[in-house]
Amino acid sequence: MTNPQEPIFDKPIKYDNRPLWLIVLDRTARYQVMVGLALVAAILFRLTPPEGLSAEGYHALVLFGATVFLWVSGLLPIAVTALLSMVMLPLLGIMEAKKTYAMFGNESVFFILGAFILAAAMTGTGISARLARAMLAKFGKTPVRLALTVFLLSALLSFVMSEHAVAAMMFPVVSEIATALRLEKGSSSYGRLLFMSIAWGCIIGGIATFLGGARAPLAAGMLKEATGLHFSFLEWTTAACMIVIPLLAIGFILLLKFFPPDLRDVEDGRKFLNRKRLESGKMGYDEMLTAVVMVATVTCWILLGGKTGLAAIAILGAAALFTFKVVSWQKIEEYVNWGIILMYGGTIALATALEKTGAAVWVVRKGMGVFPQSQLAIIAIISLVAIILTECISHAAVVAILMPIGMGLCQTIGMDPKVMTLTIALPAGLAYCLPMGTPATAISYASGFLKSRDIIISGCVIMAISWLLFLASVLFVWPMLGLKI
């Protein structure tokens, strides 16, 4: 029986004294914005297309603008927005239904599906965590070497896994180290160094190959749809690593400057990691098979990707894992980001509509007065826009927004479409400043060791250096790879 003197509710009841109409407006703000967007779009659809632009192209531009608004505002999940834009293409008469839905057959969609399955196997079998503990225990003998190992391991794993998955996997391992070393949240500079090493390692390593994130396969798929050109796995990696390798060196030096180690040894942490390694025992059958399949898949991507296509190899690698019962479909469903896969088809369809209807080229021609005539200056502007946008919205959304414009520019000024694709996709992965920019930063921020100020100030410095390094690579290194401006 309750004591009559005790309060019935744990928290005091709060009364909203505002007028009813104001409460209703506040509670329905999201719906008001969506209705307003629909009304504005409906009015724009009824207007006469500008001179030189077809009705289909004009409608495609209106739909593109509405899609970008939904992406930026976050009113709908990015995958739902992409699918909605895809459905509207045939309904509005912009593109035939058969051609629209055929975009889900794009090679990039199946490549990223296979890559997700391979990454899920590495995480699910525990081989990635085993590798992390082994590397940290072996090479982390001093505070600086331990932080460097966390940084490089995060980067190298992001070469072959989604950077988001790597950050999620490294977080508990580094948290265990921080606990063993008795690092205090809010005061330990070394704790900040360790968790920032995860974030920056994942971000920098994530742009090195097609496997680090969704933006690279998406950009390559949109390039192929628009021009018929394609990147081989080795070609993309070579161009990206001209930026990644120096960034790894510069990035870690900056981390040490911003977050200098404040402890003398890490012996407690190494003992803890060695104990965990002993508890995990020898490498199991599933782990060994996953390692063999992963090595074989990456090797085939490098040697045979140009002939067979990256998607075919990725799916064959995934099929091998199921054949040997290394993974089950139930486990894969837990790890695979189906939203990204759904987003791919819708985004590629919308970009194709902008290109086929001539809308992208029309926009570029109208905007040529804004853009300078120098190709290097155009690359500098587009890459700067990409690197700033990616701090606010999804990397893949940045690629989806800028690729149609970039392909239109290439047609107008005669730039190599491959150069433009890299100009958009690589900077679109370098979001350092805000937790919302990339899950890797958000995961590290969740540790409690970092403040927003720590991330933003250091992030602005490395972002500026990344952009300048990118431009230097475009100007001095890429021409030796056949990517000339």
Query: How high is the pLDDT of residue 423?
Result: 93
Which residue ranges make up each domain of the chain? 104-481
Query: Is the model's pLDDT at 252 over the cut of 80?
Result: yes
Query: How high is the pLDDT of residue 12?
Result: 60
109 vs 245, higher pLDDT: 245
Mean pLDDT of the residues in the chain: 82
Query: How high is the pLDDT of residue 249?
Result: 95
Mean pLDDT of 132-145: 79
Query: Is the model's pLDDT at 223 over the cut of 60?
Result: yes
Mean pLDDT of 213-231: 85
Query: How high is the pLDDT of residue 80?
Result: 86
SS3 labels along the chain: CCCCCCCCCCCCCCCCCCCHHHHHHHHCHHHHHHHHHHHHHHHHHHCCCCCCCCHHHHHHHHHHHHHHHHHHHCCCCHHHHHHHHHHHHHHCCCCCHHHHHHHHHCHHHHHHHHHHHHHHHHHHHCHHHHHHHHHHHHHCCCHHHHHHHHHHHHHHHHHHCCHHHHHHHHHHHHHHHHHHCCCCCCCCHHHHHHHHHHHHHHHHHCCCCCCCCCHHHHHHHHHHHHHCCCCCHHHHHHHHHHHHHHHHHHHHHHHHHHCCCCCCCCHHHHHHHHHHHHHHCCCCHHHHHHHHHHHHHHHHHHHHHHHHCHHHHHHHHHHHHHHCCCCCHHHHHHHCCHHHHHHHHHHHHHHHHHHHCCHHHHHHHHHCCCCCCCHHHHHHHHHHHHHHHCCCCCHHHHHHHHHHHHHHHHHHHCCCHHHHHHHHHCHHHCCCCCCCCCHHHHHHHCCCCCCHHHHHHHHHHHHHHHHHHHHHHHHHHHHHHCCCC
What is the pLDDT confidence band of residue 339, given thresholds at 50, 70 and 90?
confident
16 vs 185, higher pLDDT: 185
Query: Is the model's pLDDT at 305 over the cut of 80?
Result: no
Query: How high is the pLDDT of residue 369?
Result: 57
Mean pLDDT of 93-116: 81
What is the pLDDT confidence band of residue 135, given thresholds at 50, 70 and 90?
confident
Global confidence as pTM? 0.69
Most confident segment among 38-42, 160-164, 373-377: 38-42
- Tokens 């990635």 sit at which residue? 128
Query: How high is the pLDDT of residue 7?
Result: 55
User: pLDDT over 70 for what percent of the chain?
Assistant: 91
What is the pLDDT confidence band of residue 278, given thresholds at 50, 70 and 90?
confident
